[in-house]
């Protein structure tokens, strides 16, 4: 089987191997593929491996030999699934490969906002500690998490993992699950008991709000001017879900007014980030470039799972199919 990896540099910029896929066929890997390059690069190939390279109806019409698309991610909105079905193309994704890494990154963002590690390290490297008359100093007040309340929006596997980590810091945890039928119940996250409560109640009482919900019509801009007005002054907001679950201009305003004590995110509404994004230069704001999923161990797992998906398809027993 001829296998074409269309935008491999996101998952593998050269530090790991495509070996698991190379065992299954002839692999050609491109760092990135534009829309204009897609058809030419896929000529004669039965299998496409893509992360963000889009396949619309026109692409399927022009690639009659295409049999399989393996999405090198959990999300698969870059694929026109109706067109894939119409052309008999199997599409798979890789669910849950980054649960641990995303939860870890969530806590990293929160800890950066509460402990201001980067600010103080930069100060020390600039020589400020050498010039200090006291044995210690701090540039801004730090925040202790023990005794604070974390409210999680979206209590899937990542949300539950975050709940366990927060509990280890001595935090109380509540959640608004995506499944509304769970409101009023208590859900187990490992050994942690998480009370499921309505969104408004959760954000009103929280010291930290962390987003782990899917992007749907219901969750798009769930954090907006109106919902932010429910927050306690100084609340920390974390977004390791999807950029469009917040209104970025409203978050900027909340940071400038002090309503939000800080915002930490690994995602923005348009990626790569646009120069006019309202969060650029915002106070008490930490943004990383969609890297929560990128630890070496996580990317190796991603490639191994993508290869297992393709092997199952080749064995006529496909798994993790989305068509």
**Residue pair 86/323 in contact by the 8 Å Cβ criterion:** no
Find, among 165, 254, 273, 153, the residue nearest to 213 by Cα: 153
Distance of CA 226 to the CA centre of its chain: 24
Query: Are the C-beta atoms of 207 and 182 separated by less than 8 Å?
Result: no
The DSSP letter of residue 273 is P
Which of 87, 151, 242, 301 is labelled catalytic?
A: 242
Closest CA to 97 of 308, 316, 315, 263: 308
Angle at 305 between CA 322 and CA 71, to 5 degrees: 40
Query: In terms of DSSP bridges, do strands 260-265 and 235-239 run parallel, antiparallel, or are they unpaired?
Result: parallel
Backbone angles phi, psi at 204, to 5 degrees: -65, -35
Of the candidates 41, 67, 120, 290, the residue annotated as catalytic is: 290
Token pair for 213: 């919900």
Name the catalytic one among 26, 256, 271, 297.
271
290 annotated active-site: yes
Active-site residue, 46 included = no
Contact between residue 159 and residue 219 where contact means Cβ atoms under 8 Å apart: no
- Is residue 128 among the annotated active site residues? no
Among residues 268, 193, 203, which one has the least CA distance to residue 237?
Answer: 203
Q: In whole angstroms, what is the distance from residue 208 CA to residue 223 CA?
A: 13
Residues designated catalytic: 242, 271, 290
């Amino acid at each position: 089987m001829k296998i074409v990896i269309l935008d491999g540099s996101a998952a593998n910029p050269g530090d790991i191997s495509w070996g698991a896929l190379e065992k299954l066929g002839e692999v050609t890997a491109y760092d990135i593929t534009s829309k204009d390059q897609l058809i030419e690069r896929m000529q004669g190939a039965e299998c496409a491996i893509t992360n963000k390279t889009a396949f619309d109806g026109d692409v399927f019409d022009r690639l009659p030999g295409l049999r399989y698309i393996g999405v090198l991610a959990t999300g698969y909105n870059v694929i026109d699934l109706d067109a894939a079905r119409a052309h008999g193309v199997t599409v798979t994704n890789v669910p849950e490969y980054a649960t641990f890494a995303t939860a870890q990154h969530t806590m990293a963002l929160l800890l950066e906002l509460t402990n201001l590690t980067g600010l103080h390290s930069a100060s020390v490297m600039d020589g400020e500690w050498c010039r200090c008359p006291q044995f210690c100093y701090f540039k801004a007040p730090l925040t202790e998490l023990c005794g604070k309340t974390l409210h999680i929006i979206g209590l899937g596997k990542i949300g539950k993992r975050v709940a366990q980590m927060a509990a280890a810091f001595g935090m109380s945890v509540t959640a608004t699950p995506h499944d509304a039928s769970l409101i009023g119940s208590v859900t187990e996250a490992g050994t942690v008991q998480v009370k499921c409560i309505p969104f408004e109640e959760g954000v009103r009482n929280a010291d930290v709000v962390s987003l782990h919900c899917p992007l749907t019509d219901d969750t798009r801009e769930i954090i907006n001017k109106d919902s932010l007005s429910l927050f306690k002054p100084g609340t920390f907001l974390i977004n390791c879900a999807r950029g469009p679950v917040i209104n970025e201009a409203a978050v900027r305003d909340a940071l400038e007014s002090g309503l939000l004590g800080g915002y930490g995110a690994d995602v923005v509404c348009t990626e790569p980030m646009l120069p006019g994004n309202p969060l650029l230069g915002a106070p008490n704001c930490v943004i990383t470039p969609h890297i929560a999923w990128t630890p070496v161990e996580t990317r190796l797992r991603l490639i191994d799972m993508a290869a297992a998906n393709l092997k199952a398809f080749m064995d006529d027993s496909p798994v993790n199919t989305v068509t």
